[in-house]
Amino acid sequence: MTASVLITGASSGIGRATARHLARREDLTVYATARRPETLEPAGPGIHPLALDVTDEESMRAAVKHIEERHGSVGALVNNAGYGQYGTVEETDMQAVRRQFETNVFGPARLAQLVLPGMRRAGGGRIVNIGSMGGRLVFPVGGYYHASKYAVEALSDALRFEAAPFGVKVSLVEPGLIRTGFEDTASGTLADSAGDDSVYAALNEAVGRRMADSYRSRLLAVGPDAVATVVKRAVTARRPRTRYVVTPAAVALVHTRRLLGGRAFDAYLRLQFGKV
């Protein structure tokens, strides 16, 4: 059983809910981290706030060192920090794309590199990467966000095989629509990506409208506790699954994409967003 858990992006949403769920276990010490530690909740039983910016090398090194000095190793790493950069492939600024990948891909990969030596010395550990159903299918105007989550899929699959001989188990959690404020950030980046005179204005409007409707739907979207419960299982189960798809709607969409193939799924998207 792991003694220490490092959670990134724990100031709100899935990260905060996960910290609360894991802290209920008396055998775990949870390190809830965020780029700005003042945004974290005050320390509670079993929860320790810690500064960590997944885009800053020294910050990541310092956080891992802090935990290893107290526990010998990071028992479990939950790579949760991330956000959605929305906009068309043509019009999204490449600096914004680079920031997306620094946060969603390179940060989690670097943290895995930093915790693995300690996990090997300890004879085991857990790495839980928060991906998305968006790593299994793509909606228009989210190409760069989806690309980052496809990358997390690939890294998780490779790492799972590579780390297994050392007793390190790797799981990928793929949430569907979760009410966390993600949609507000995504909508904001979409609005900033192009002006009203964009050739993609009608598509951007359709996607923004559909996104808002979907997150309001009780059938399609759920709260972050649904994901936190699954992450807790991945961290504590004796034999965690390689993948966990969260929400019935996400399961249905992932299987629909797999069964329909590319052309048929494109036709499905045209029904959703219109012929724009």
Q: Which residues are catalytic?
A: 145
DSSP 41: P
CA distance 127 to 33: 16
Q: Give the phi and the psi of residue 131 in degrees, each rounded to 5.
A: -95, -130
Q: In the structure encoding, which two tokens stand for residue 216, read together?
A: 């309001």
CA distance 237 to 1: 9
Cα 51 to Cα 10, 95, 161: the distances in Å are: 10, 25, 30
The answer to whether residues 106 and 8 touch, using CB atoms and an 8 Å cutoff, is no
CA distance 32 to 50: 6
